[in-house]
């Protein structure tokens, strides 16, 4: 491929007068930003065969809204997103270089799929979503198979009027670099339940921030990354308890093969006078072979005194006692390992709202073992 058919990510930041990100930002401490910024990206789009989507959906192809089918109680229109709570260069790039859309759920109980397909270069999308008096499930699917490409997405999610939003993200067997950012704000009696599934993908970074601004609001964020050899996945979360009488739970797990890289960087901030907080944060990682790199950083920033906040982290190989027990009951080594990994993974789907998303895990585990 000639140089005329390639360009680098740093060009996109400079051309849009956006500060180039650096590892001086603590959230990017372990990411090879320099290599990413200078990597050549393909400017030629690859042909795709198209996809079939059941139910209601938005379909983005190479950053453009190609097709949509929405219920009557969901409205969409173009709208410029004005960033308030971030100085992240990738989020700025997403809002500056894409057509911004506003999506409003009003009294809605439907499910909607948001599909992102990217075949070349760096492509961005930016959405502002409002949930009003709604109980909705948003299924996000990433189709990014070309290695010389980057997909960069941003969602501003506003949950109001006693609404509940369930968001499932599926990132499977993708070869592109994926950057995804969700900023959620919750008012009184609102709830957010999130699940990220990243399986056998080259490199992905998912960031979720939740600003809890109303009493009796809850946030639950779960994630499961299964990394094959040389795969890299990064989870970056930050939950802000800005008022009292609120609750948050975070559970992120990973399974890693040789030379895989996994990072969990999770934060919980509790403001002064935000009392009666219940917050739980746990990261657990399994290394299947001799060597993988794990960065686990659960963190608490608490300025109130009447709170219940806990965090923890574990990293190790498969539990040999569990394997021995299963083999003593007649299972062979392979099936024993698979059963232990299945039990390890299942906890991420235990919430009733997440059970339906546990599909294809057995096939993934068959591959990774």
pLDDT in tens, 177-198: 999 999 999 999 999 999 999 9
Taking alpha carbons only, the member of 112, 107, 165 closest to residue 132 is 107
- Residue linked to tokens 């906040």: 309
Question: Judging by beta carbons within 10 Å of its beta carbon (0-12, 13-18, 19+), is residue 24 exposed, middle or buried?
Answer: exposed
pLDDT in tens, 309-344: 999 999 999 989 999 999 999 999 999 999 999 999
pLDDT at 46: 65
pLDDT at 41: 82
**Per-chain mean pLDDT for the chain:** 92
| Residue 86 predicted with pLDDT over 70 | yes
pLDDT at 1: 33
Q: Is 187 helix (H, G, I), strand (E, B) or coil?
A: coil
User: What's the pTM?
Assistant: 0.94
- Residue linked to tokens 């895989």: 260
pLDDT in tens, 134-179: 999 999 999 998 888 899 999 999 999 999 999 999 999 999 999 9
Phi, psi dihedrals of residue 12, rounded to the nearest 5°? -65, -40
- Over residues 201-215, the mean pLDDT reads 97
The distance of Cα 277 from the centroid of its chain, to the nearest Å, equals 24
E strand residue ranges, 187-306: 191-199, 203-212, 218-227, 232-241, 247-256, 261-270, 277-287, 293-302
Phi, psi dihedrals of residue 345, rounded to the nearest 5°? -75, -35
Q: Tell which wins on pLDDT, 46 or 240.
A: 240
**Whole-number Cα distances in Å, 75 to 15, 58, 83, 108, 241:** 33, 12, 21, 11, 30
**Whole-number Cα distances in Å, 147 to 130, 255, 311:** 34, 22, 36
| Residue 11 predicted with pLDDT over 80 | yes
**Whole-number Cα distances in Å, 132 to 7, 73, 239, 283:** 42, 10, 21, 32
pLDDT at 4: 38
Taking alpha carbons only, the member of 172, 180, 176 closest to residue 144 is 176
**CA atoms within a 13 Å half-sphere pointing along the CA-CB vector of 293:** 11
| Residue 358 predicted with pLDDT over 50 | yes
- Residue linked to tokens 């008012």: 187
pLDDT band at 3 (very low <50, low <70, confident <90, very high): very low
**Whole-number Cα distances in Å, 284 to 230, 231, 254:** 19, 18, 7
pLDDT band at 132 (very low <50, low <70, confident <90, very high): very high
Which stretch of DSSP H or E encloses residue 172?
Answer: strand 164-172
Q: At what angle do helices 333-346 and 320-328 cross, to 10 degrees?
A: 120
């Amino acid at each position: 491929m000639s140089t005329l058919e390639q360009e680098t990510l740093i060009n996109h930041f400079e051309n849009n007068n956006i500060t180039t990100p650096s590892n001086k930002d603590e959230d990017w401490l372990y990411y090879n930003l320099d290599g990413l910024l200078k990597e050549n990206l393909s400017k030629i789009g690859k042909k795709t065969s198209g996809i079939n989507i059941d139910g209601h959906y938005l379909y983005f192809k190479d950053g453009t809204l190609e097709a949509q089918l929405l219920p009557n109680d969901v409205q969409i229109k173009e709208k410029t997103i004005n960033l308030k709570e971030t100085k992240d260069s990738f989020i700025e790039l997403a809002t500056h270089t894409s057509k911004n859309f506003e999506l409003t759920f009003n009294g809605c109980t439907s499910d909607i799929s948001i599909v992102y397909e990217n075949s070349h270069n760096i492509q961005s999308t930016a959405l502002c979503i409002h949930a009003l008096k709604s109980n909705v499930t948003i299924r996000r699917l990433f189709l990014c198979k070309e290695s010389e490409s980057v997909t960069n997405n941003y969602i501003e999610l506003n949950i109001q009027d006693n609404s509940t939003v369930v968001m499932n993200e599926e990132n499977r067997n993708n070869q592109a670099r994926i950057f995804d950012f969700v900023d959620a704000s919750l008012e009184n009696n609102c709830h957010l339940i999130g699940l990220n599934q990243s399986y056998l993908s080259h490199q992905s970074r998912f960031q979720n921030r939740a600003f809890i601004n109303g009493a009796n609001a809850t946030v639950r964020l779960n994630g499961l990354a299964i990394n094959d050899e040389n795969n890299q996945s990064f989870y970056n979360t930050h939950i802000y308890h800005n008022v009292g009488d609120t609750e948050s739970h975070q559970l992120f797990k990973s399974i890693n093969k040789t030379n895989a890289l996994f990072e969990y960087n999770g934060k919980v901030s509790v403001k002064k006078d935000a009392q009666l907080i219940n917050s739980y944060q746990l990261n657990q990682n399994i290394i299947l072979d001799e060597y993988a790199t794990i960065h686990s950083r659960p963190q608490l920033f608490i300025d109130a005194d009447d709170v219940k906040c806990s965090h923890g982290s574990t990293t190790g190989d498969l539990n040999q006692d569990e394997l021995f027990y299963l083999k003593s009951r007649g299972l062979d080594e392979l099936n024993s390992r698979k059963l232990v990994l299945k039990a390890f993974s299942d906890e991420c789907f235990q919430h009733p709202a997440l059970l339906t998303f546990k599909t294809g895990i057995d096939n993934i585990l068959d591959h990774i073992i």
